[in-house]
Amino acid sequence: MKSSASSSAGSKARDALLQEARDLRSRQGVPEALAALARLQALHPRFSRLYQERGHCHVLLGDASAAIDALREAVRLNPTLPASWDMLEQLYRMLGDTAQAATAAAHLDTLRQLPPEVVVANSLLADGDLAPAEQVIRDYLRKDGDNVGALRLLARIRKERDAPAEAESLLKSVLARAPDYHAARLDYAMVLLQRQKHLQARREAEHLLGHDPDNRDYLKQYGAACVGLGDHEPVIDLYERLLAGQAQSGTEVADLRLWRANALKVTGRQQEAIADYRASLAARPDHGVAWFSLANLKTYRFTDDDIARMRAAESRPAIQDMDRVYLCFALGKALEDRGDYASSWRYYERGNAARRVTSRYRPEVAEACALRLKRVFTAEFFAARAGWGVADPAPIFILGLPRSGSTLIEQILASHSQVEGTQELTEIDRYAAELCGRDPDCGLPLDPEALLRLTAGEARTLGERFLAETDAYRRQGRPFFIDKMPNNFWHIGLIRLMFSRATIIDVRREPMACCFSNLKQLFGTTNQEFTYGVDDIARHYRTYLDLMRHWDDVLPARVLRVRYEDVVENLEGGVRRMLEHCGLPFEPACLAFHETRRSVRTPSSEQVRQPIGREGLAQWRHYAPWLAPLRAALGDALTGYRD
């Protein structure tokens, strides 16, 4: 995400170019104004007011059709542009299209009934001008603090400004005053989903569907909440229902096919997933995430034509930034599979560089957080809190770094008759944020010292809350369940306070293999942002080792370290060791883990459905000519990871 300073500078440059076009138009320099708007569109293609200005220009040229096209795009991007609706009404009436004129007039009438400040703030929000939009609506709320529409708008702005907790609180207050305000309830469900409160989000979607069972937005929200809960089977048919419904744009078809393919992949229906990924690309050929999703199967092999199409799409100047990032990682994998490691590395490197531009991760923040955790969680701290938390041994926490082999370990343990695999649960991280605050750049605990004030009763309540909130992910009724969130290595101290008997397994992979595997993996949204630069991933690996050594010192014998390479070399020995640590009897099914049928959401989903292999141990060596900086940055971690 861009900083507020760079965003402000970009907005000023954008607005200056728009003003230049307006000045040119006012001086009858319409061709020059249109040229300025073309430059503006290349830089800011979703800026609604440039299309409104283009409409003005075409009106002066007497080209009603071109003016209508420009104005329709303006109101598509930003429905709160009174001038655009006014011009559209007049143009449609001039052309004799009374139906379209009436529609435009209705939109204009709706806007005129709203407070002007609300219209202005909505318009600013639509164009991404978040700070001025918030200022306008807050000024208005000082005069009319009970206006639920204005409060909903403030919530939407706060959500866009990375304040989802405040947005949730605002929307909750709106619904307390206006429980039938369905648009606000949909926003509320979306914020709950963003905050990983999947069960609550699904309940809100179910409430909305009770009023309008065929509403496409409500159905999509329900599907997204089901996916968040790991309930993938129902959404396969739900997305098919949406695809069979009213006519959709190519973009909507592409998204629905992608979402359905993801659910099919997770449930192990790979060939059907591939067909839907292909259908997504048929609807939108440059859909970068669909190309990447095929690559992310790890077992899919691209054709010559596929690679040519991806290369052509990635090289187009007008392609969206994230589509280019997705395509770079997909091409990296496609060319790796063909043994063209030099070309493959160039695409991985290009994708990482583009992705890192929007990353807010700072290695020094993570290192400082580790230091604060070590100062708080001493051996004396735990000795004074012996026996705290819930005694229930049900949770098994598998943690470490991404791409360390944790999905394999989860699949092995979830093949046991007494263990249920769930997914990468976010509850522990959320509790840590509630107690300690969250660093805005890295999402790490801001004030671990706050845990010094936690009482025994509060620790127990947190443990009970975790068991209650994760119950939605447990469907098999087995006595043990797995939380496979790698980032929980930051929260081992909190986990120990919450559960006196919880099992914790640290999965560790050789540093060159682990770091390279992360460098060539694109993670969703803002997850794992330390993986997009050689120095960042190396420093993060070293910080992880440092913090894990601390947990081993202050909580001796509580965390079982499992080296991925050891499990590959001696599967049965590794399985017996893990089961003994969990207090479980040996079962042969754990050796045949690839035959276990269950939903797997991580990038390794297809790999763990195959027998264990050695091919992942040294893949990084193909890229050794370009990984010297990584080796240097890792330093003594290259051997120290074994300690």
**pLDDT tens track for 286-323:** 999 999 999 999 889 999 999 999 999 999 988 988 99
Query: For residue 1, what pLDDT band results from cuts at 50, 70 and 90?
Result: very low
Mean pLDDT, rounded, for 267-281 = 94
Q: What is the mean pLDDT of residues 141-167?
A: 94
pLDDT number for residue 643: 83
Residue 497's pLDDT is what?
A: 97
Mean pLDDT of 602-627: 72
User: What does the pLDDT read at residue 241?
Assistant: 94
Report the pLDDT averaged over residues 553-562: 96
Q: What percent of the chain has pLDDT over 90?
A: 86
pLDDT reported for residue 442: 86
Please give the model's pTM, rounded to 2 decimal places: 0.83
- Amino acid 600: pLDDT: 56
Question: Phi/psi of residue 216, each to 5°?
Answer: -65, -40
Res 318: pLDDT = 81
Q: Let me know the angle formed at the C-alpha of 632 by 628 and 634, rounded to the nearest 5 degrees.
A: 115
Asked if residue 325 has pLDDT above 90, the reply is yes
Nearest to 183 by CA among 152, 223, 226, 221: 152
pLDDT higher than threshold 60 for residue 5: no
**For residue 526, pLDDT beyond 90:** no
Neighbours of 226 (CB within 10 A): 20
Of the two residues 2 and 181, the one the predictor is more confident about is 181
* Predicted confidence (pLDDT) per residue in 86-144, tens digit: 999 999 999 999 999 999 999 999 999 999 999 999 999 999 999 999 999 999 999 99
- Going by C-alpha positions, the residue among 396, 345, 416, 600 that lies closest to residue 499 is 396
pLDDT by residue (tens digit) across 331-367? 999 999 999 999 999 999 999 999 999 888 999 999 9
Does the pLDDT value for residue 605 go beyond 50?
no
Sign of the four-CA dihedral 274, 275, 280, 284:
positive
Place of tokens 């993570």: 366
Average pLDDT, the chain: 93
- Is 60 exceeded by the pLDDT of residue 603? no
pLDDT at 2: 46
Question: Distance between alpha carbon 436 and the CA centroid of its chain, in Å?
Answer: 22
Q: Domains plus CATH for the chain? A: 1-113 (1.25.40.10), 285-357 (no CATH), 389-640 (3.40.50.300)
pLDDT at 491: 97
* pLDDT interval class at 475 (50, 70, 90): confident
Distance (Å, whole) CA 361 – CA 359: 6
Percentage of the residues of the chain whose pLDDT score is greater than 70: 95
Q: What strands, in cross-sheet order, belong to the sheet with 419-423?
A: 419-423, 480-483, 395-400, 503-508, 559-563
Token digits for 279? 């259908």
Question: What pLDDT was estimated at residue 259?
Answer: 95
| Mean per-residue pLDDT, 447-466 | 96
